[in-house]
Amino acid sequence: MNHVRAGAGRNIRSAVESDNKMMKRRSGDRENRRKGKSLFPASPLSRFSGSRFSVPGFKAAGIACGIKHVPAGFKQGKNGNKDLAMIYSESAAVAAAVFTKNKVKAAPVLLDMQRLKKGLCQAIIINSGNANACTGKKGMEDAARMAATVEDVLGIKKGFVMVASTGVIGQNLPIDKIEKGISKLVSSLSAKGWNDAVHAIMTTDAFPKAVFEKCRLGGKEISVLGIAKGAGMICPDMATMLAFLATDAAIEQKTLQAMLKLSVDNSFNCITVDGDTSTNDTVLILANGKAGNKEVRSQKSGVRSKDYKTFSEMLERACLKLAKMVVMDGEGSTKLLKLHVSGAKTDSDAKKIAETVANSPLVKTAFFGEDANWGRIMAAIGRSGADMKQEKINVYFNNVPVVMKGQGAACKGQDREKMAAKAVKQKEVCIRIELGMGRGIATVWASDLSYEYVRINAAYRT
């Protein structure tokens, strides 16, 4: 028995040692991202600065008020561990939102779902470091107290404040600290305060996520500015993520709600990091109409105007950019994986396959190890529950064929394994799956799964 244990120990040590080169090469990735050095070319850091962009009629701020706990092994951030943010509209704005589908919902989500029925909002108060989830009656009272304090300090109408929280589940909010911090937060509001706000909503995020888009509606310039947080518990439907968008467009509430739902379905609901869905997911947009455009609304005939299409496309583009940033920043991630499935019998079947492959721990760890193990993808396809025929399946890694007609692809004159191995060493890998069954398509973005993911989540509360 001792001999067997000794042999197993040698094997484990050997496996660990064989990973040293790979881990040495990647060990600085996350720290570099914390310093603003992007792991991916598509990082927003070089293009977005909250002090450079703003939306007419909106102000934002972010401060530290003592909520956030720094887990063991993590350093205090250069932004002072900001943990309380606010977005404020100078006038009541049309509001639309999409919330988590998890049946266990945090107190702020339940509060916002009720308040959204009014269709109007003037301020959003957000805390990080504490989710205020599974906190019972006290949690609901604390969420309501946050909103009421903001209403009192800003002097705005009761019921016009939304609340959002993110962080550890099952702990009561330090509500006294938050109430004291709100006065300081309000005094810090600025049209250029978005950088402070986006840092204040971060938890395990390695970089701030923000986007700025413009278009013209009826000759009027329209702006959309969005910020988001999220790095773990990322899985459709939405994630442990919060996203807030502000626009100066004039839009009918029902129309804005329909646009946001479609945009979320095609963005935040098409990403995954670890297959877990949070209790706090919220995507919220405010439209204050300051641009002075003719109000965008759905037409009863079902024919959508040019302005409807223009704004809807811009909103979806902004949401997709934020969603991809969340995946890029997946806890411990080293790769961005794009799963594109075509030729399914239905779009639903295509989505099933894309999500099953994207959430497979075996697939994700293979890409982290840069192992072009297409067998794991075939196995995931087969257990997805979608209608498929093995002999019709083709799979490609960055356009390199690895499976043709359900079998390993043969490449004339070239070594397929070497080509595939080269493809999976890229920071971004497109896994294209062709089913040959119909016209159904779907795209899902995912991250790989690394040792770092385990370290971050093992130390989250300690």
Active site residue 240: yes
For residue 397 the two structure tokens come to 């890694």
Amino acid symbol at 24: K
Token pair belonging to 386: 């979608």
Find the distance separating the first CA and the last CA of the chain, reported in whole Å: 36
Calpha distance 138→140 (Å, rounded):
5
- From the list 89, 234, 61, 228, the residue with the least C-alpha distance to 162 is 89
At residue 223, φ and ψ (nearest 5 deg) are -120, 145
Segment holding 434, helix H or strand E: strand 428-434
Q: How far apart are CA 180 and CA 385, in angstroms?
A: 52
In the set 100, 149, 203, 240, the catalytic residue is 240
Q: Which residues pair with 400 in a beta bridge?
A: 397
| 149 token code pair | 């304090």
* Structure token digits, residue 124: 């959003």
| CA nearest to 230, candidates 216, 212, 242 | 242
Q: Is the link from the previous residue into 112 a cis peptide, with omega within 30 of 0? A: no
Rounded-to-10 torsion of CA 287, 289, 294, 297: 20
40 vs 53: CA distance, rounded Å: 23
Residue type, 456: I
Half-sphere exposure of 349 (CA within 13 A, CB side): 20
Active site residues: 240
